[in-house]
Structure 1
Amino acid sequence: MGRTWRRRKNRGKKSPISKPLDYEGTIVNLKRWMTKCNWYNGTRLKLSYFTNTGRGITCDRNLKIKDTLIEVPYELMITLGSFDVLNEIVTTKGGKLAIHDLLSLFLVIERHRGESSNWKFYLDSLPNELPNLPWLSTSCEIDVLPYSLRETVLNRRKNFELSWKRSKESINSRWKCECCQTVGHRVITLNSFTWAYVMVNTRAVYVDPDIVRELSSSAISKWNDVLSDEPSMALCPFLDMFNHSNNAETSANLVKSEGKWMYKLITLLPSKKHEEIFISYGPHDNIKLLCEYGFFIPHQDLDFIRWKFSDVLDVTKIKLNERQYKFIKKRKLELDESLYIDSSGLSFNLKATLYVILNPFVADWCSCIFGDFSSINLIEMQDLCHKLLKWKAYKLQDELECMQKYESEVSENFKNVLKYQNYILMLVTKFCANFCVK
């Protein structure tokens, strides 16, 4: 959610306003349209350009804990109940569709309708350019990505391709646009669908599917046969302009207020007037942020360095006996996603794995793993950690050199990954210099 592909530097500092954007035509029209549809800007939210985050939200008063940031009428949200325009377009011949697919198709159709769309002023507020997402890189670019990142990127690419396949096959071949008589397959193209899919992926909010069903009773009979998952995604005008920070704490829910359903966003932290107001998209690490939203946040608490179990064995050059191997496997200590170092130290699984590797003849590993390690144990683990970090730095440098061979002729998506890889190398170097096992 939000415009998540702008520059993300100096996250810990305040966001100085470069210029107000509230008087831009698209924003004036958006607010005017929302006001006509019973939206009240009680917090006096304003859109501004911030020099370190780009477009974001502020207000001209101090905010206290549990203050309401924004309340958007349910009727202004794009949900399962908004899909009347898709009734004659979508069929089940290609199989069932996910709510993400339907929202994407809806955006494509409404954007094509232009001036005749009831959602024109919201659509005008959406960017034409896509964020620099790794999975939008070319196949050749993806092929030279580091294995761990490439796996994540390919999964995201596969999710998109499956969504496009389902959606394309669902289009009614007899349907023509009522405003221009263009056939469906020329309206819903790969380019238009890609734009819409990314808009939904980066901006949609979670909504309680039971409430959506209750409020969309007339649409349920139609879409129950089409929908493959819960109708738990929705698009929410203006609210999607808040930027993300892992330090933000907010609460968002559909609530009934004076007999009307509203999507209500509450801040759980105070903020000062004229400062940018952030929300949290969730406790996402930088790989998640990069692959889902197209940006990463340097020096955040969720940064980590991860290894595969095979990497740990290769670097330590210690051969496990059968008892060690069975112990590690039985307790699932070797799971790749659990072997990492972050700002708080070694993960439990990495510390336990290193201890077992270093102490093959200890009778009861559990007593130390779930108790206290001796000072000698900690020194030995620290030595191995430094070996792992130096190996990771060498590997990252090698991967970067391979990627940089293509730097002069690559997409902005790939260049964004290069920036991320350089940052990770810097992070590993920093860990090498300062890390201490506790």
Structure 2
Amino acid sequence: MGRTQRRRSHRNTKDSSSLHALYVDLHSRGWQNSTGLSACNFLQTGRGLCSKRATFAPEDELIRLPVECLLSIATLESDEAFKELFNKEFFDKDARISFQALIACYIMYQKHLQDCSNSSVYAAYLDTLPKSYSTPYFCSIPELQCLPEALLERTVAQNRQIKDYYGIIKSLVGSLSCQCCGQSYCLDIWTLADYRLAYFAVNTRSVYLSARFLKKQSSHFQGLLSGDTNLALAPFLDLFNHSDSVQTTAEIQSKDYVVTLKSLPLAETKPYEQLFISYGALPNFKLLTEYGFWLKGNLHDYFEFSLLDIEHMIKHRKELYSQIYHRNIFKFIREHNLSDQMFVHLGDGCSHNLRVVLHLIFKQQAYFPNILNQIAFGDAEQFEDVQPELAYLVRYKVQEYQIFMGELDKLPELTESGSTARSYLEECVRYLGDFEARHFPDFDQ
């Protein structure tokens, strides 16, 4: 799924040396680089990949990387020293972790091997991992206080999940000590701060890999893991940046992990042009919170609202605040999950659920559940009468985001995460402004 940072400064000599070491390491594992890929720095995205001699058209292979080069569940299951840290007798079915959480632990394990004994077989790859990430998760406290509730909720959820996983790992590994340095893994070596970085390394750089295509492995970690193990870290391949205007596929062919270009905005690329892959049809909110970047004019973008947004909008509109809204209506909306998938799309307009919710709140006097049920799941044409309220809601969010941007601008300095979040808010304001102009240009607010 790629890398996290879109506007990094040019890399230093040490970084170039690290990439050269990675080339050498991957070639020793069977990588031929048949498509002639090179890592370069690009103005808009920072580090990315291009080919200095080849052109690419749809159906061309972008990269063919031996499965042996990937860090997957097979990698962890074949590492006897790492498995010894996790006593299966202490696994608890009520305290399981995701495979992403476990492979993040493996990154920390390998980094410590590299630091204390230079014995990590993945040293070349570890040296190419970012030292920081630009997701809102890494915003400073003052910056977090200037972010919209949707971003805060996502950041809080991420933090809670990461701390829970770290706690489970700490309880399992306990006070076991490193045989190289004698220090305790969870008391001296693996800090929560280290784990956060490792977790986002996996979050931003992993690729989908169906474990059923891997050679049969032992199942030491089966009792610890929740969910599937269908991801892997892909050295060098993870330098591809994401574009919303290309489509790619990835699959295992024999002993190789192959990424194929399926569509391009132009007939073909040219040498030295940056090559992109697709992480999926992802909106900017997802790109920002998971990967730490956003795309201007993202083809897959939309803007989502919450029920709380509507409640706040009511309080800010005198003509709406003076009306009476029965609590049964809001209760009904929540109980039937109608507040999910409430969004506007620049081309498609207002989502069905958002229309239903606006209709129930502003156009209906009924508040008995049986009547609300008939209305909510009845004829869809009746929900076409909510343009004024939709316009109010969009305008409210524009003004709210402008306030958040103003509060960020008051801070003496922004971190990279804060600056990225601030530019995302500006893109949201632009997107909603374009939505207003297209869908209710003559509406007087």
TM range (shorter): 0.7 to 0.9
Q: Call closer, same or farther: CA 1:403–1:273 in 2, change over 3 Å.
A: closer
Residue range with higher mean Cα deviation, 157-166 or 226-235: 226-235
Report the Cα distance in structure 1 between the residues aligned to 2:169 and 2:40, rounded to whole angstroms: 36
**Which residue of the partner structure matches residue 12 of structure 1?**
none
Q: CA deviation at 1:201?
A: 0.9
Contact preservation (8 Å) 1:250, 1:279: yes
- Indicate which of 400, 419, 423 corresponds to 1:395: 400
Q: Call closer, same or farther: CA 1:403–1:303 in 2, change over 3 Å.
A: same
Question: Is residue 2:73 matched to residue 1:73?
Answer: no
Q: CA deviation at 1:354?
A: 4.4
Q: Call closer, same or farther: CA 1:310–1:187 in 2, change over 3 Å.
A: closer
Report the Cα distance in structure 2 between the residues aligned to 1:334 and 1:284, rounded to whole angstroms: 22
**Which residue of the partner structure matches residue 268 of structure 1?**
262
Report the Cα distance in structure 1 between the residues aligned to 2:309 and 2:104, rounded to whole angstroms: 41
Report the Cα distance in structure 2 between the residues aligned to 1:420 and 1:102, rounded to whole angstroms: 31
Q: Runs of 4 or more off by more than 6 Å in structure 1? A: 361-368
- Indicate which of 162, 171, 179 corresponds to 2:164: 162
Q: Call closer, same or farther: CA 1:342–1:431 in 2, change over 3 Å.
A: closer
Any idea what the Cα deviations from partners look like across 1:4-47, whole Å, max 9, x if unmatched? 21229xxxxxxxxx99x9x9322222122211211121111121
Output the amino acid matched with 1:66: E
1:369-380 equivalences under 5 Å are 369-370=379-380
Match of 1:400, SS state, is helix
Contact preservation (8 Å) 1:400, 1:418: yes
Residue range with higher mean Cα deviation, 106-115 or 87-96: 87-96
Residue range with higher mean Cα deviation, 192-201 or 413-422: 413-422
Q: CA deviation at 1:49?
A: 1.2
Match of 2:171, SS state, is helix
**Which residue of the partner structure matches residue 119 of structure 1?**
122
Task: Give the TM-score normalised by the residue count of structure 2.
Answer: 0.80
Q: CA deviation at 1:278?
A: 0.8
1:342-353 equivalences under 5 Å are 342-353=346-357
- Indicate which of 338, 345, 351 corresponds to 2:342: 338
Q: Call closer, same or farther: CA 1:268–1:120 in 2, change over 3 Å.
A: same
Q: CA deviation at 1:358?
A: 6.6
Task: Give the TM-score normalised by the residue count of structure 1.
Answer: 0.82
1:164-203 equivalences under 5 Å are 164-178=166-180, 180-185=181-186, 186-203=188-205
Output the amino acid matched with 1:2: G
Q: CA deviation at 1:118?
A: 1.2
Q: Unaligned regions of 5+ residues in structure 1, if any?
A: 9-17
Contact preservation (8 Å) 1:88, 1:172: no
Any idea what the Cα deviations from partners look like across 1:37-81, whole Å, max 9, x if unmatched? 111211111211111111111122222322211111111111122
Output the amino acid matched with 1:117: S
Contact preservation (8 Å) 1:94, 1:169: no
Report the Cα distance in structure 2 between the residues aligned to 1:31 and 1:330, rounded to whole angstroms: 53
Contact preservation (8 Å) 2:41, 2:47: yes
Report the Cα distance in structure 1 between the residues aligned to 2:307 and 2:176, rounded to whole angstroms: 54
Q: CA deviation at 1:368?
A: 9.4
**Which residue of the partner structure matches residue 145 of structure 1?**
147
Q: Call closer, same or farther: CA 1:327–1:411 in 2, change over 3 Å.
A: closer
Q: CA deviation at 1:86?
A: 0.8
Q: CA deviation at 1:200?
A: 0.8
Q: CA deviation at 1:290?
A: 1.0
**Which residue of the partner structure matches residue 286 of structure 1?**
284
Report the Cα distance in structure 2 between the residues aligned to 1:105 and 1:333, rounded to whole angstroms: 36
Q: Call closer, same or farther: CA 1:310–1:238 in 2, change over 3 Å.
A: closer
RMSD: 3.5
Report the Cα distance in structure 2 between the residues aligned to 1:343 and 1:51, rounded to whole angstroms: 30
